[in-house]
Structure 1
């Protein structure tokens, strides 16, 4: 028996517990203390079924906070979870991408099964850590836990993610050894792994050897052929699926529709797929609808794309993006309504308060590029800033192009500096922007900055820089770019080869152009056009026309540029009948609309033939009667044939069309003086001063070694050695002895030494550049000179005789054409 407590102690304890009855005996206070709280009771754990439901809810909603609260509750209540609850909790951490907590839980689990390892493998795969996922699989294999099909599927998915074909083949062998290859689930994982590794033969092997196939297997096979770039085979697989009774889902149809976007001639295939989509009832599916819309839009079926768009209920951002991209792609000068429709759709997205993506802005900026409207572009730019997408490289490149076309190169540079510049296409955009704005030196400087950052260029930026070299006329820089392209293997690309043809064409080296053309592995229509243009520029008219006939024999469809090259060749060769025949063929046989450049070639041909009235009538009946380019061609013909009256009328019209062009004023000024209208000539000079139009400074330049020597009119800072003048006098004496003094002004100035030198610098810079080249370059090297104004008549005559008496080839490029002087004749036929 337990000992009894004393009676007094019992009474004391009882008194402490009972409330007092006499308030006078208590210490009175206005706020008596609250009664003491009962001792806290220990929390009880929840039932296992409740934990299971809550954990499943956490995994479905990806709620990491709720999952951690449940885990904390288990610890506080001393709950001993089973392996099933442990696996569920591990799955929550993995699906919520908290791999650190998942690993801590995994390390503390007393027992692990295949589901435990599968959860961790799947978690690392979802995070993109394929190497860690495969490492977990290896540890699971070493732990001798019996792995199931989900273990191998997770490991195969990690191999597909990393492109590790070798480990994927090892896993394939392990699957076969363990007898799991008969299951469709594993077959689908094998097809996906081999497909993402680019092994289409192994994909077909796994599919054909499988004992069990399901809809996912067929869809995986179809996606494999789509991914590898064989849309024709994918279409056959789709027919095979239909005949085998396999149900087609939105994933399969969306993939094949996307693949058919790359078809050039597949109108029947597209219509067949569209009918298949409607019969299955997926024409209202957003994924399939957007893929079908994109397929039609990218292949010129704008009307079909609009019908598909109108049939989709509640289109999302992806559908709107596909429609805007289709309108932007087709919104050229001939279809301005499509461009306006793209902007209208963008406004509709804003009205619906849709969350715009970077693809939305990229497509709508492409539509704005056709408007050349700074207001529209800046409004789109403001929306980009509001959506926080100004640092996206695709959008940055589109903004650079937009401001470049608006001639706002400073804004383009500002957008370039705000872009991360992680990819080369951003650099390509800014280099192209400077080239389009005729700032070629800055374009080359940016390319040097690009290389200084140890970046690897692609064929597009190399081609852009090569175009800058061609416009500058710097053969040395172009040859260096060619050497770099050869060393880096970029010379095999067609786009680079075309740029190299262009560079050598503008440099006046027809031989190098032909060699480059012959070394291109795969010609496109631009390659053919550039070579025809090169032949025409250098006077090889018959070769140019033979090359065009070869295009027709190969059944290659020429475009507008091809016909421009042919008409240019006919213009340089004076072949009027052939030119009109090609002009008519362009309209009737190929359904191409001539632009102002085609018209200018026809006017140039009529002017060369002396048919000035026909040329003027041709202009007035065309749709380009207010374009200055076509009137300049007629003005050159009037000057050549001495039709001063018509030339004055054309010059006055040009002053109205382009009131700030100095060439129009100077041509009109000279013609007024030729007909004796001095007052009108002075009035023309007065208009130039009133309108702030300055005469363009004449410049001639020649490349000698690695230096470009520029001779500028009115600039005495460039000093020429007296030995060069002595050589010029010696050559001029031989030319005068050959041709006699036929009234050329340059011989008159030769009698006064100082005035003669000043006149040569100011008015005959091309002659000085040619003599400078003859003095410094070997006899076997062709003299190549560039000039920003038309060559004068005196220099043209002297250079013809100079090429004969000195036995040198001289190539002179002015804004109108090439002049190839050889053996006393010029390739222009004395018409420029």
Structure 2
């Protein structure tokens, strides 16, 4: 007793607590209170909770730790912690503490209830909200303006517009918040007429009222209504500009979004992120990266959301130099790669052709999650490194990280690219029997692809016919491509017939069917298929290969002579031809899919394939010892594959080629695919 009195809070201590405003001052007083045992006094500990829970300091961890030490915390303290949880986007914890409060026979008040209702709204927890609504009516808070307004907001955000309108109509006095919540809810549900009627009835409006309509109409796809409201707004702020830009982005009207963006005098990070993400999601990768560079030039600091978009953009560009630059920026500026950013870095390096860098990132992550494992397994499979991919899958399982459905897509793809048909069947069964994962159409697609690549066409056809869902175009294209590669015209025609019935606008179907007939020398059928393509307005995509050098991407199409270095490139092609002939290469002219009689003309046609032009450019410009990385839009033909193997040995260069399904690593006369692709 004497000790406690000796250490009672002095007037000075209480004064310091009252005047304390910064985190540093509060933690110093906290440390002093713990050291002198003053923390045991409820008045002092309660004041510390209040300080830590204040939005200016916002140290939820310390606030809760002190709160838990108080024997009988008051309702005021409960309210402070609940509010702090909601403020910190931890609404689950707020609702759990509210439940504990009721268990202590404490009755919530009109400060507790709006906070916990807001937490329900953030979680879309409408059923829990209804239970709280019942409690509110029992406690007599049904007519409280702030509580009622919170219910209008909850129900509107959860799309329960009938309940939102009832809560709104029983209010004695509708405040601006409740009007805005109701309008926002109707607008987002697509109820344009009702939203506009309410807007016109409002006794007063603020900037948020106008923005609710713009944002709501944009999100439900009514962009023309959103723009009409936007143009009528007497004043606009960043939120309203961003809402309109997001609306255009969501509708795919990129150019209108760009015009608005250019008109803005002030932009914030949200604006930049919306534009970058919009360009990325619409495949406008060059525009997205250019915006990112402009953003940095304007001294706007990116956040994780920016980098998520930009790493996906670089994967789309397949620009390794840009990827390494962004990775370096992330390291210098302290961005952690343990979460989604780590997964995207692994994906980016894999898709840009540097699986070694992807492995380095993967191994640097201390606590690997299922996304990290999945990304590296998918990447290794894409690069033909099936053995390492499967070893990592087993390591993942042994680490007690449970694979999910996408992980098995990566595993099955690895088996497909390596021709591991027995392993493919085994992992497909393992996914179902050991992990209880129901196969999706994507899993069936992987299994069919494995069977088609290895020539098990009848089995693949049987699986397609017995699948519990309708086969998609990818599956039927796998069967058609397998039939072409293994020269099974009957199954090829079966697959093409089904494809044309299911998806007649699949241009690739006609191209592969035409190629199959061309390889068989059935030129009359080739003409028939091409006539069908002409009638439907389809054109065969020309082979296109790109290669990056000093930050610039150089593109080539078959027979291209538009490059500034054309003379040097074709001179190198002549040199390559002579060296290949000396090495004993005999061109495989069966893959010339044109009706050409002369063998020399066929050989010239092969020599002008886009990847050979890109290789010639790389041998001319890229320093000896550095890999030549080429991205191609179509499958590598047999002759180009054989030629590239020889060239890797003749010139002692590693040549990495990504075609439309995988990576080939050519080195010392061999390929990572082991001649299976």
Unaligned 5+ residue runs, structure 1?
1-147, 174-181, 327-339, 369-375
Task: Compute the displacement of 1:313 (Å).
Answer: 7.1
TM-score of the superposition, structure 1-length normalised?
Answer: 0.63
**Do the aligned residues in 2 keep the contact of 1:195 with 1:228 (CA within 8 Å)?**
no
The answer as to 2:571 corresponding to 1:711 is no
1:416-815 matched pairs, under 5 angstroms = 416-417=261-262, 422-490=267-335, 492=337, 494-520=339-365, 523-556=368-401, 558-583=403-428, 595-622=440-467, 625=470, 627-654=472-499, 662-720=507-565, 728-729=573-574, 731-741=576-586, 743-744=588-589, 759=605, 763-815=608-660
**Do the aligned residues in 2 keep the contact of 1:284 with 1:313 (CA within 8 Å)?**
no
**Do the aligned residues in 1 keep the contact of 2:560 with 2:610 (CA within 8 Å)?**
no
How far apart are the structure 2 equivalents of 1:314 and 1:730? 84
Identify which range, 727-736 or 275-284, moves more after superposition. 275-284
**Do the aligned residues in 1 keep the contact of 2:589 with 2:606 (CA within 8 Å)?**
no
How far apart are the structure 2 equivalents of 1:536 and 1:211? 58
How far apart are the structure 2 equivalents of 1:167 and 1:553? 46
How far apart are the structure 1 equivalents of 2:88 and 2:585? 73
Query: What are the Cα deviations for residues 79-128 of structure 1, in whole angstroms up to 9, with x where unaligned?
Result: xxxxxxxxxxxxxxxxxxxxxxxxxxxxxxxxxxxxxxxxxxxxxxxxxx
**Do the aligned residues in 1 keep the contact of 2:187 with 2:213 (CA within 8 Å)?**
no
The answer as to 2:40 corresponding to 1:195 is no
Residue number in structure 2 paired with 1:255: 115
How far apart are the structure 1 equivalents of 2:336 and 2:28? 37
Residue number in structure 1 paired with 2:189: 343
Task: Compute the displacement of 1:533 (Å).
Answer: 0.8
How far apart are the structure 1 equivalents of 2:462 and 2:293? 51
Specify the structure having the higher radius of gyration (Cα): 1
Q: CA RMSD in A?
A: 5.2
**Do the aligned residues in 2 keep the contact of 1:494 with 1:521 (CA within 8 Å)?**
no
Identify which range, 422-431 or 249-258, moves more after superposition. 249-258
Cα gap change, 1:202 to 1:824, in 2 (>3 Å) = closer
Residue number in structure 2 paired with 1:80: none
TM-score of the superposition, structure 2-length normalised?
Answer: 0.76
Partner SS, residue 490 of structure 1: coil
- Residue from 71, 83, 98 that aligns with 1:223: 83
**Do the aligned residues in 2 keep the contact of 1:289 with 1:308 (CA within 8 Å)?**
no
**Do the aligned residues in 2 keep the contact of 1:435 with 1:468 (CA within 8 Å)?**
yes
Cα gap change, 1:258 to 1:797, in 2 (>3 Å) = same
1:52-67 matched pairs, under 5 angstroms = none
Identify which range, 529-538 or 351-360, moves more after superposition. 351-360
Cα gap change, 1:735 to 1:297, in 2 (>3 Å) = farther
Query: What are the Cα deviations for residues 613-656 of structure 1, in whole angstroms up to 9, with x where unaligned?
Result: 33234334557647432222222111110012332343355456
Unaligned 5+ residue runs, structure 2?
1-10, 33-40, 203-208, 593-597
Task: Compute the displacement of 1:461 (Å).
Answer: 1.8
How far apart are the structure 2 equivalents of 1:229 and 1:609? 51
How far apart are the structure 2 equivalents of 1:519 and 1:499? 14
**Do the aligned residues in 1 keep the contact of 2:412 with 2:424 (CA within 8 Å)?**
yes
**Do the aligned residues in 2 keep the contact of 1:390 with 1:419 (CA within 8 Å)?**
no
How far apart are the structure 2 equivalents of 1:548 and 1:323? 50
- How many residues of Structure 1 are paired with residues of Structure 2 in the alignment? 640
The answer as to 2:269 corresponding to 1:411 is no
**Do the aligned residues in 2 keep the contact of 1:648 with 1:672 (CA within 8 Å)?**
no
Task: Compute the displacement of 1:791 (Å).
Answer: 1.3
How far apart are the structure 1 equivalents of 2:675 and 2:571? 29
1:376-387 matched pairs, under 5 angstroms = 376-382=221-227, 384-385=229-230
Cα gap change, 1:662 to 1:532, in 2 (>3 Å) = same
Identify which range, 253-262 or 799-808, moves more after superposition. 253-262
Query: What are the Cα deviations for residues 651-690 of structure 1, in whole angstroms up to 9, with x where unaligned?
Result: 3554565555553333232333344543332233334344
**Do the aligned residues in 1 keep the contact of 2:114 with 2:146 (CA within 8 Å)?**
yes
How far apart are the structure 1 equivalents of 2:656 and 2:153? 50
Query: What are the Cα deviations for residues 291-340 of structure 1, in whole angstroms up to 9, with x where unaligned?
Result: 79999999xxx89x8998799574889789999999xxxxxxxxxxxxx9
- Residue from 87, 94, 106 that aligns with 1:246: 106
Greater relative contact order (Cα 8 A, min sep 6): structure 1 or 2? 2
How far apart are the structure 2 equivalents of 1:745 and 1:621? 35
**Do the aligned residues in 2 keep the contact of 1:640 with 1:831 (CA within 8 Å)?**
no
Task: Compute the displacement of 1:786 (Å).
Answer: 0.9
Cα gap change, 1:218 to 1:454, in 2 (>3 Å) = closer
Query: What are the Cα deviations for residues 248-280 of structure 1, in whole angstroms up to 9, with x where unaligned?
Result: 22432443565688999x999999989977875
Partner SS, residue 111 of structure 2: helix
Task: Compute the displacement of 1:797 (Å).
Answer: 1.5
**Do the aligned residues in 1 keep the contact of 2:320 with 2:353 (CA within 8 Å)?**
no
Task: Compute the displacement of 1:537 (Å).
Answer: 0.7
**Do the aligned residues in 1 keep the contact of 2:634 with 2:659 (CA within 8 Å)?**
yes
Task: Compute the displacement of 1:540 (Å).
Answer: 2.0
Partner SS, residue 610 of structure 1: coil
Residue number in structure 2 paired with 1:329: none
Task: Compute the displacement of 1:496 (Å).
Answer: 2.9
Query: What are the Cα deviations for residues 15-65 of structure 1, in whole angstroms up to 9, with x where unaligned?
Result: xxxxxxxxxxxxxxxxxxxxxxxxxxxxxxxxxxxxxxxxxxxxxxxxxxx
Query: What are the Cα deviations for residues 481-500 of structure 1, in whole angstroms up to 9, with x where unaligned?
Result: 22222222235463333332
1:811-830 matched pairs, under 5 angstroms = 811-830=656-675
How far apart are the structure 2 equivalents of 1:539 and 1:623? 30
**Do the aligned residues in 1 keep the contact of 2:227 with 2:244 (CA within 8 Å)?**
no
Task: Compute the displacement of 1:569 (Å).
Answer: 1.8
Partner SS, residue 666 of structure 2: strand
**Do the aligned residues in 1 keep the contact of 2:120 with 2:126 (CA within 8 Å)?**
no
How far apart are the structure 2 equivalents of 1:323 and 1:554? 49
How far apart are the structure 1 equivalents of 2:182 and 2:431? 32
Task: Compute the displacement of 1:442 (Å).
Answer: 1.8
**Do the aligned residues in 1 keep the contact of 2:419 with 2:676 (CA within 8 Å)?**
no
Cα gap change, 1:420 to 1:390, in 2 (>3 Å) = farther
Cα gap change, 1:592 to 1:444, in 2 (>3 Å) = same
